[in-house]
Amino acid sequence: MPIINLSGNSELKKEEYVKELVSKFNAEYVRVYSDYTDRLEIIKEKVSNIGLFSKKTVIDVVDFEKFKTSERKEILALLVSDDVYLVLRTQKKIKGISGEEFKLPNVWEEEKWKNLISEMLKEHGLKVKGDIIDFLFENVGPDEFALYNEIKKLKVFEKNLNLDILKDVIHKYTLSKLDDFCFAISEMKEVSFRLLKDVVNDYEPIIIVYTLSSHFISLFKIFVNVEKKTSFFWPEISKLSKELKIPSPKVARFLGFKFKGQKFEPVNHLLIYSEEKLKDIIKRLYFIDRSVKSGGTTEVEILNLIKFIKEC
């Protein structure tokens, strides 16, 4: 089969596409990441080593854009057997390669996000009502994985679903449940230990580690680009958000900016971290990522990270 390019920023839709492909053909599934030492050998072996009675195979290259330029060229030049689907996930479309593009609305496009929520409710066989859609958007926000996990929890209620149930069941997000967890860790709060089990139950290990890594990398970018001071004004935060391409609510919380009516006290991270400490945390997250992909225990790995951050 030809190579399939899944482009765009909706990782959930890409994941669903691949799962459906594997299910449709009852195919062998091979997932490949750019940090695998034998990544090219795995792909080449699976593409070429097809016997007469072999079943179909889906090779899922999750982060194709992170491969070396020479490796990408080599992969794109491979002759793919009729029994193989070579899926290349990217943010930008690969020129000359057919496939599907899955794009999320921009964070400020409220109506488009509500349409997306409506589609997700339908896919799960749930009621599509205006008050339910509004509640989900207001409390979960523009986060496809958070929405997916919260809507999945509602399936048990099916036809009995109503707003009162949502108020009891849905986690109220500030940015997202994972962001709440990340900030609990970076703000060194004791609640991070309690939130850990909940997050591990709700999210895939790879997504948790990826989000934690992105969180601390964003903090590091802010740390090296901002003058350390005790308080900031909104125009500074808005400007920094655009320059560093980090959502303004996250920048605000990193810098200890308190919104009107906000009940909790945000922590100015510039005052509690050093550049060296952030580098050490990011290095540890790199090794945790490798460990989790190799079958390591996510909860134990992250528990040790929380202890390290609080103690060092």
Interval 183-212 mean pLDDT: 88
Residue 139's SS3 state is helix
pLDDT computed for residue 134 by the predictor: 86
pLDDT at residue 194, rounded to an integer? 87
Mean pLDDT (the chain, rounded): 87
Name the pLDDT band for 172 (thresholds 50, 70, 90): low
Confidence category of residue 180, pLDDT binned at 50, 70, 90: confident
Confidence of residue 265 (pLDDT cuts 50, 70, 90): confident
pLDDT at 171: 63
Which among 87-91, 123-127, 137-141, 304-308 has the top mean pLDDT? 87-91
Place of tokens 């808005």: 238
Phi, psi of 283 (to 5 degrees): -60, -45
Hey, what are 269's tokens?
């991270």
- Main-chain phi, psi angles of 87, to 5 degrees: -100, 125
Report, as an integer, the average pLDDT of 224-228: 91
- Of residues 44 and 292, which shows the higher confidence score? 44
Does the pLDDT of residue 15 top 50, yes or no? yes
pLDDT bucket at 76, cuts 50 / 70 / 90: very high
* Per-residue pLDDT at 174: 44
At 70, the pLDDT band (50, 70, 90 cuts) reads very high
Phi, psi of 65 (to 5 degrees): -70, -15
The CA–CA distances, whole Å, from 65 to 34, 45, 132, 302 equal 9, 21, 38, 27
| pTM (two decimals) | 0.57
Going through 83-163 in order, the beta strands assigned E by DSSP cover 84-89, 99-101
